[in-house]
Amino acid sequence: MDKLNIDKKLLEYNSIIKENDKLYHEAAKTFGLSDCAFWILYVLRESDAELTQSEICCTIYQPKQTVNSALKKLETNGYIELKQINNHRNKQIHLTQKGIKLASITVDRVMHIEQKSFSELENEEKEIFLKLFKKYTNILKNNMQILTKD
């Protein structure tokens, strides 16, 4: 494939990724949530266990300061509680009843839409999509390491 064709395909790919990001941003905005607060609620609902701030940062790929600010706001509004665990530096994040109610009318609805949308793909399409997206992401991650070596 020549460079011009690769450039066009990358432009299309990047446009799709940005559109996807915008869909989630608009959903968060519709619910009156910051993007980070939305994703925190999302991973708390998705997880079977209570998570620490570090675990959330690793899961949603956001800086610690951004996650900390969103957590403080969620805590102030009564949506989460921070529970002390063994070493006093780490705290587990726990959804309160108010937080569970908020999640049920926000991120749970988005998750349902995601499940419905994904189920509309054929089984083979799902497998191909995930396999290729993961492959490209791993290749990109490996090649991006060049930036940190300079």
Question: What is the percent of the chain where pLDDT is above 70?
Answer: 98
User: Among all chains, which residue has been given the structure tokens 């299309």?
Assistant: 12
pTM for this entry = 0.90
Query: Which H, E and C letters describe the chain, residue by residue?
Result: CCHHHHHHHHHHHHHHHHHHHHHHHHHHHHCCCCHHHHHHHHHHHHCCCCEEHHHHHHHHCCCHHHHHHHHHHHHHCCCEEEEECCCCCCEEEEECHHHHHHHHHCHHHHHHHHHHHHHCCCHHHHHHHHHHHHHHHHHHHHHHHHHHHC
Residue-wise pLDDT for 6-55, tens only, equals: 999 999 999 999 999 999 999 999 999 999 999 999 999 999 788 999 99
pLDDT above 90 (res 101): yes
Give the pLDDT confidence score for residue 4 in this predicted structure: 85
Q: Which carries the bigger pLDDT value, residue 109 or residue 3?
A: 109
